[in-house]
Amino acid sequence: MSNQNFDHQYLNRVQFKNCKLTGTSFIETNLKDVLFDHCQGRYSNLSSSQLLNVMFDHCDLQEASFYDANFKKIQFNETNLIQSELASLHHKGLDLSTCQIQGAMFDLASLKGLIINDFQAVDLIGILGVKVK
Protein backbone atom coordinates (compact mmCIF):
# COMPACT_ATOMS: atom_id res chain seq x y z
CA MET A 1 0.00 0.00 0.00
CA SER A 2 3.00 2.27 -0.33
CA ASN A 3 2.43 5.66 -1.94
CA GLN A 4 -1.35 5.25 -1.89
CA ASN A 5 -3.54 8.32 -1.51
CA PHE A 6 -6.22 8.32 1.22
CA ASP A 7 -6.52 12.14 1.30
CA HIS A 8 -9.88 13.65 2.35
CA GLN A 9 -11.33 10.24 3.30
CA TYR A 10 -13.17 8.90 6.34
CA LEU A 11 -11.69 5.65 7.68
CA ASN A 12 -13.71 4.01 10.45
CA ARG A 13 -12.90 0.71 12.21
CA VAL A 14 -9.96 -0.14 9.94
CA GLN A 15 -6.96 -2.29 10.84
CA PHE A 16 -3.64 -2.01 9.05
CA LYS A 17 -1.57 -5.04 10.11
CA ASN A 18 1.95 -5.66 8.85
CA CYS A 19 1.35 -3.18 6.03
CA LYS A 20 3.97 -1.35 4.05
CA LEU A 21 2.64 2.21 4.03
CA THR A 22 5.80 4.01 2.92
CA GLY A 23 4.90 7.44 1.57
CA THR A 24 1.18 6.87 2.00
CA SER A 25 -0.87 10.06 2.24
CA PHE A 26 -3.72 10.59 4.71
CA ILE A 27 -3.91 14.42 4.40
CA GLU A 28 -7.09 15.92 5.92
CA THR A 29 -8.42 12.42 6.60
CA ASN A 30 -10.70 11.45 9.48
CA LEU A 31 -9.47 8.26 11.15
CA LYS A 32 -11.72 6.80 13.84
CA ASP A 33 -11.13 3.51 15.69
CA VAL A 34 -8.11 2.64 13.53
CA LEU A 35 -5.24 0.29 14.37
CA PHE A 36 -1.80 0.44 12.77
CA ASP A 37 -0.02 -2.74 13.92
CA HIS A 38 3.61 -3.45 12.96
CA CYS A 39 3.38 -1.18 9.90
CA GLN A 40 6.19 0.39 7.91
CA GLY A 41 5.01 3.96 7.39
CA ARG A 42 8.14 5.96 6.69
CA TYR A 43 7.43 9.29 5.01
CA SER A 44 3.67 8.93 5.58
CA ASN A 45 1.71 12.17 5.68
CA LEU A 46 -1.16 12.62 8.16
CA SER A 47 -1.12 16.43 8.08
CA SER A 48 -4.31 18.23 9.09
CA SER A 49 -6.00 14.92 9.88
CA GLN A 50 -8.45 14.13 12.67
CA LEU A 51 -7.45 11.02 14.63
CA LEU A 52 -9.88 9.63 17.22
CA ASN A 53 -9.14 6.42 19.10
CA VAL A 54 -6.19 5.45 16.90
CA MET A 55 -3.35 3.16 17.96
CA PHE A 56 0.11 2.89 16.43
CA ASP A 57 1.64 -0.33 17.78
CA HIS A 58 5.26 -1.18 16.94
CA CYS A 59 5.26 0.95 13.78
CA ASP A 60 8.08 2.63 11.89
CA LEU A 61 6.96 6.20 11.18
CA GLN A 62 10.35 7.78 10.57
CA GLU A 63 10.09 11.15 8.86
CA ALA A 64 6.28 10.98 8.87
CA SER A 65 4.31 14.22 9.12
CA PHE A 66 1.55 14.86 11.65
CA TYR A 67 1.61 18.63 11.09
CA ASP A 68 -1.57 20.33 12.37
CA ALA A 69 -3.18 16.97 13.23
CA ASN A 70 -5.89 16.73 15.88
CA PHE A 71 -5.35 13.83 18.31
CA LYS A 72 -7.98 12.43 20.67
CA LYS A 73 -7.41 9.12 22.49
CA ILE A 74 -4.25 8.31 20.52
CA GLN A 75 -1.77 5.64 21.57
CA PHE A 76 1.79 5.26 20.34
CA ASN A 77 3.34 2.01 21.58
CA GLU A 78 6.99 1.28 20.78
CA THR A 79 6.75 3.38 17.63
CA ASN A 80 9.68 4.92 15.74
CA LEU A 81 9.04 8.65 15.27
CA ILE A 82 12.63 9.63 14.49
CA GLN A 83 12.73 12.89 12.49
CA SER A 84 8.93 13.01 12.27
CA GLU A 85 7.08 16.32 12.14
CA LEU A 86 4.84 16.84 15.16
CA ALA A 87 4.40 20.63 15.00
CA SER A 88 1.09 22.46 15.45
CA LEU A 89 -0.22 19.26 17.01
CA HIS A 90 -3.53 19.40 18.90
CA HIS A 91 -3.54 16.90 21.77
CA LYS A 92 -4.16 16.45 25.48
CA GLY A 93 -1.60 14.36 27.33
CA LEU A 94 -0.09 12.53 24.35
CA ASP A 95 2.15 9.73 25.69
CA LEU A 96 5.29 9.14 23.63
CA SER A 97 7.31 7.62 26.49
CA THR A 98 7.84 4.25 24.74
CA CYS A 99 8.70 5.78 21.35
CA GLN A 100 11.91 6.84 19.64
CA ILE A 101 11.70 10.59 19.02
CA GLN A 102 15.28 11.62 18.21
CA GLY A 103 15.30 14.49 15.75
CA ALA A 104 11.50 14.83 15.77
CA MET A 105 10.30 18.36 15.05
CA PHE A 106 8.02 19.92 17.66
CA ASP A 107 6.97 23.48 18.31
CA LEU A 108 6.56 24.84 21.84
CA ALA A 109 2.76 24.55 21.80
CA SER A 110 2.93 20.87 20.80
CA LEU A 111 5.24 20.10 23.73
CA LYS A 112 2.67 21.27 26.27
CA GLY A 113 1.09 18.25 27.97
CA LEU A 114 3.36 15.77 26.18
CA ILE A 115 4.32 12.70 28.25
CA ILE A 116 7.91 11.56 27.72
CA ASN A 117 10.55 9.59 29.60
CA ASP A 118 13.70 11.05 31.13
CA PHE A 119 15.92 9.98 28.21
CA GLN A 120 13.64 11.73 25.72
CA ALA A 121 13.88 14.96 27.72
CA VAL A 122 17.49 15.27 26.54
CA ASP A 123 16.30 15.14 22.92
CA LEU A 124 13.69 17.86 23.46
CA ILE A 125 15.46 20.30 25.77
CA GLY A 126 17.15 22.09 22.86
CA ILE A 127 13.73 23.27 21.64
CA LEU A 128 13.43 25.27 24.87
CA GLY A 129 16.72 27.04 24.16
CA VAL A 130 18.48 25.24 27.01
CA LYS A 131 21.97 23.88 26.56
CA VAL A 132 23.16 20.96 28.69
CA LYS A 133 26.77 21.18 29.73
**Per-domain residue ranges for the chain?**
10-124
What is the rounded distance in angstroms from the CA atom of residue 92 to the CA atom of residue 113?
A: 6
| pLDDT reading at 131 higher than 80 | no
Residue scoring higher pLDDT (35 or 124) = 35
The secondary structure element, H or E, covering residue 41 is: none
**Cα dist. 120→17, 41, 46, 71, 133 in Å?**
28, 22, 23, 20, 17
What residues contact 33, with CB distance under 8 A and at least 6 apart? Answer: 12, 13, 14, 52, 53, 54
Closest residue by Cα to residue 29 from 20, 16, 40: 16
Of 5-9, 12-16, 121-125, the range with the lowest mean pLDDT is 121-125
| pLDDT reading at 124 higher than 90 | no
CB 63 within 8 A of CB 44: no
Q: What is the mean pLDDT of the chain?
A: 95
Q: How confident is the model at residue 77 (pLDDT cuts 50, 70, 90)?
A: very high
Which pLDDT does position 126 carry in this prediction?
A: 80
What is the architecture of the domain spanning 10-124? Answer: 3 Solenoid (2.160)
What is the rounded distance in angstroms from the CA atom of residue 23 to the CA atom of residue 73?
A: 24
Residue scoring higher pLDDT (127 or 6) = 6
